[in-house]
């Protein structure tokens, strides 16, 4: 570690710990899961970069969405995202969660996931290889460092817009709004 990194650690320990301690909850559909096991096993070993899978959204600060997103799977994606504590980051992995992929013209496909939850980063490809996943993670580190990985803040600020997009698909959602617009919503 060089001296500049040490100064960063001392000045902003919370930011640095969030950056280098990403606890991931995965939402995998279809072929989206295929590149995750190689990235967390011995050959690529994501844990050496501080990226560790966790069991529940309550323990996670990185949400990795892989594979296609349908009307049926969007609702659990929204619920998972809302259960994560802040600061939280979201990365869309593969072509499908970005723009629908090869299912883009299906009546049941969500083409723009970022209308329903904020996305901090995209890793394109069908399916991206483990190298691309690590390139995406290091880019996320840069965004966190620069204060640009602020999807959770955008979600809070523009919650009514996101919620109205969600309710346009599903009608009245069965869970209460996460943010009501009051000052005590943080």
The pLDDT of residue 172 is above 70: yes
Place of tokens 């969660």: 97
Identify the CA nearest to 32 among candidates 125, 138, 140: 125
Quote the pLDDT of residue 89.
96
The pLDDT of residue 32 is above 80: no
**Host H or E run for residue 87:** none
Quote the pLDDT of residue 183.
56
Beta-carbon contacts of residue 96 (< 8 Å; ≥ 6 apart): 29, 30, 32, 67, 68, 69, 102, 103, 109, 126
Quote the pLDDT of residue 63.
95
Quote the pLDDT of residue 182.
61
Domains of the chain listed by start with CATH number:
21-185 (3.40.50.12280)
Quote the pLDDT of residue 186.
55
Higher pLDDT, 29 or 73: 73
Quote the pLDDT of residue 2.
59
Quote the pLDDT of residue 75.
94
Q: Cα–Cα distances in Å, from 123 out to 70, 72, 119, 143, 176?
A: 19, 23, 11, 14, 32
Mean pLDDT for the stretch of residues 160-184: 86
Question: Alpha-carbon distance 108 to 70, whole Å?
Answer: 5
Torsion (CA) 27, 31, 32, 33 in degrees, nearest 10: 70
Q: Encode pLDDT of 33-88 as tens digits.
A: 777 777 887 778 888 888 899 999 999 999 999 888 999 999 999 999 999 999 99
Question: Alpha-carbon distance 78 to 63, whole Å?
Answer: 11
The pLDDT of residue 3 is above 60: yes
Question: Alpha-carbon distance 75 to 173, whole Å?
Answer: 9
pLDDT band at 149 (very low <50, low <70, confident <90, very high): very high
The pLDDT of residue 9 is above 70: no
Beta-carbon contacts of residue 92 (< 8 Å; ≥ 6 apart): 65, 98, 113, 114, 119, 121, 122, 123
Quote the pLDDT of residue 25.
93
pTM of the model: 0.88
């Amino acid at each position: 570690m060089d001296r500049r990194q040490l100064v960063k650690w001392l000045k902003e320990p919370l930011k640095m710990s969030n950056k280098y301690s990403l606890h991931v909850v995965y939402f995998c559909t279809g072929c989206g899961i295929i590149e995750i096991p190689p990235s967390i096993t011995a050959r690529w070993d994501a844990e050496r970069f501080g990226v560790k899978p966790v069991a529940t959204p309550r323990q996670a600060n990185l949400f990795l969405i892989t594979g296609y997103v349908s009307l049926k799977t969007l609702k659990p994606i929204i619920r998972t995202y809302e259960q994560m504590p802040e600061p939280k980051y979201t990365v869309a992995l593969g072509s499908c969660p970005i723009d629908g992929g090869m299912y883009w013209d299906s009546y049941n496909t969500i083409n723009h996931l970022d209308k329903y939850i904020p996305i901090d980063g995209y890793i394109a490809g069908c399916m991206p290889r483990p190298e691309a996943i690590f390139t995406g993670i290091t880019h996320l580190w840069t965004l966190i460092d620069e204060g640009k990985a602020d999807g959770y803040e955008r979600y809070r600020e523009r919650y009514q817009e996101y919620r109205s997009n969600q309710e346009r698909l599903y009608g009245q959602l069965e869970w209460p709004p996460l943010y009501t617009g009051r000052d005590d919503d943080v």
